[in-house]
Amino acid sequence: MSKNLGKRLERARKASGFGLRKLAELVGLSHMAISKYEKGSLTPSSDVLLKLAKALEVSVEFFFRPETVKLGEIKFRKRQRLRKKVEESIKAQIADQIERRLELENLYPNPPIQLFKIPVSLSDRIDEYDQIEDIANKIRNLWKLGRAPIQDLIDVLESHGIRVFIVDYEEEMFDGLSTLINDQPIVVISSKWPGDRQRFTLAHELGHFILQNRLSSVLNEEKACNRFAGAFLLPKETIIQEMGKIRTSIEWRELFLLKEEFKLSMYSICYRLKDVGIIKESYFNSLVFLFNQKGWNKQEPGNKTPSEKTHIFKQMVFHALGEEYIGESKAAELLDYSIEAFRNFRLMDETRHAAAR
């Protein structure tokens, strides 16, 4: 029991981003005592457990749950190397979310989420980036998405077996990740990003799952997944219909209006125009130069695209509660609410719910 408790304590500490000394300071203990708790060589008293739970913002029950989640190889999508402490914090935070999700799914008599399956009709080998346009179109056709903008991308991915999790990390620290749990894909994005960046990252990670083991050695995997993301979110046929087959000059307002319609960044739309041959590479380069000169590479004009939301976990909790697969206390535990906060949330009393949390 002590070893399992120690692992749970370590996970909660890392998820909070605390070092041993910081947590020790918060609960009034030595960092050596915290270290011994984590190693399982010392068992904390009930009073100490209450203090640890409060400092780490978890329930005492959290420490006694069995360790059930083992993450597969994690692929961080990042522009620069993350500090080890940040990586560990992200891994610990998503492990907790995944653990609660899998526990809930296992309480259903029939799986509530279908398994992710890569269509067998896709090409086994991709030698050119242009072939990826066809792959993206086939996925859209098989998933019956048509050519219009995808309004709820998270719902689309979840309904096809890709679990999406959202963590609270600042933009400069974290650029998304993907991994496998029980051979099923998950994608993690940040709540801090604007919606266009979230959507591109989700589509990019979908590209990794779809294109794996298909790319020729001469193709760059990241570039290929970027191409897939653009083609999946804004199909070639659609962008040609919107912008024309050949253009020698583009108005900024055109890009802005397309961004509003497809929730894709203006920069990504420029890239799509180049990829599908609507504009020449030389003109694309001049657009990028002006784009950067205006400072739009840091923040594009207009309001930020609203962030994507994930509702499925809460929907599954209340479905399970309604069908009596779980009771009120388990529902509160899964949502990480106190019983009082959960009851107010259940009764749609948002004012009391916020106060009780």
pLDDT tens column, 216-244: 999 999 999 999 999 999 999 999 999 99
Q: How many domains does the chain have?
A: 1
pLDDT at 354 over 80: no
Tell me the two tokens of residue 96: 């907790």
- The distance between the two most distant Cα atoms of the chain, rounded to a whole number of Å, is 73
pLDDT digits (tens, 9 = 90+) for 282-312: 999 999 999 999 999 999 999 999 999 888 9
- Mean per-residue pLDDT for 147-174? 87
For CA atoms 209, 212, 216, 219, give the dihedral sign. Answer: positive
> Look-up: residue for tokens 């055109």?
254
CATH number of the domain residue 50 falls in? 1.10.260.40
Position 167 confidence tier, pLDDT thresholds 50, 70, 90:
confident
Q: Identify the pLDDT of residue 60.
A: 86
Beta bridge partners of 166: 189
Q: Is residue 30 part of a domain?
A: yes
Q: Rounded to whole angstroms, how far apart are CA atoms 333 and 181? A: 22
Is residue 1 in some structural domain?
A: yes
Is residue 200 pLDDT above 90, yes or no? yes
Spatial CA neighbour of 186 closest among 47, 69, 327: 69
What SS3 class is residue 41? coil
- DSSP letter (8 states) at residue 116: P
Residue 268: burial class (beta carbons within 10 Å; 0-12, 13-18, 19+) = buried
Place of tokens 């190693």: 39
Domain membership of residue 261 (yes or no) is no
Tell me: pLDDT of 34 over 80.
yes
pLDDT digits (tens, 9 = 90+) for 73-116: 555 555 556 677 777 777 777 888 888 898 899 889 888 888 89
Q: Which of 185-189, 255-259, 303-307, 351-355 has the lowest mean pLDDT?
A: 351-355
Q: Where are the beta strands (DSSP E) in 56-129?
A: 75-76
Query: Looking at residues 309-331, what average pLDDT do you find?
Result: 94
> Does residue 344 sit within a domain?
no
**Whether the predicted pLDDT of 65 surpasses 90:** no
> Which pTM value belongs to this model?
0.83
319 part of a folded domain? no
d(CA 346, CA 66): 28
Is residue 128 pLDDT above 60, yes or no? Answer: yes
Q: Is 13 a domain residue?
A: yes
For residue 1, the model assigns a pLDDT of 47
Domain limits at 38? 1-67
pLDDT for residue 357 is more than 60: no
Pick from 29, 36, 28: which is nearest to 10 by CA? 36
Strand ranges of the sheet holding 184-190, from the earlier edge strand across to the other edge: 75-76, 177-181, 184-190, 163-167
Average pLDDT in the chain: 89
Cα distance between residue 116 and residue 119, in whole Å: 10
Label residues 202-228 b or e (16+ Cβ within 10 Å = b): bbbbbbbbbbeebbeeebeeeebbbbb
Q: What angle do CA 101, 106, 108 make, to 5 degrees?
A: 105
Produce one character per residue of 133-161: b if its CB has 16 or more CB atoms within 10 Å, e if not. bebbbebbeeeeeeeebbeebbbbbbebe
The pLDDT, as a whole number, for residue 47 is 92
Residue 103 neighbours by CB under 8 Å, 6+ apart: 68, 334
Domain assignment present for residue 185? The answer is no
341 within some domain: no
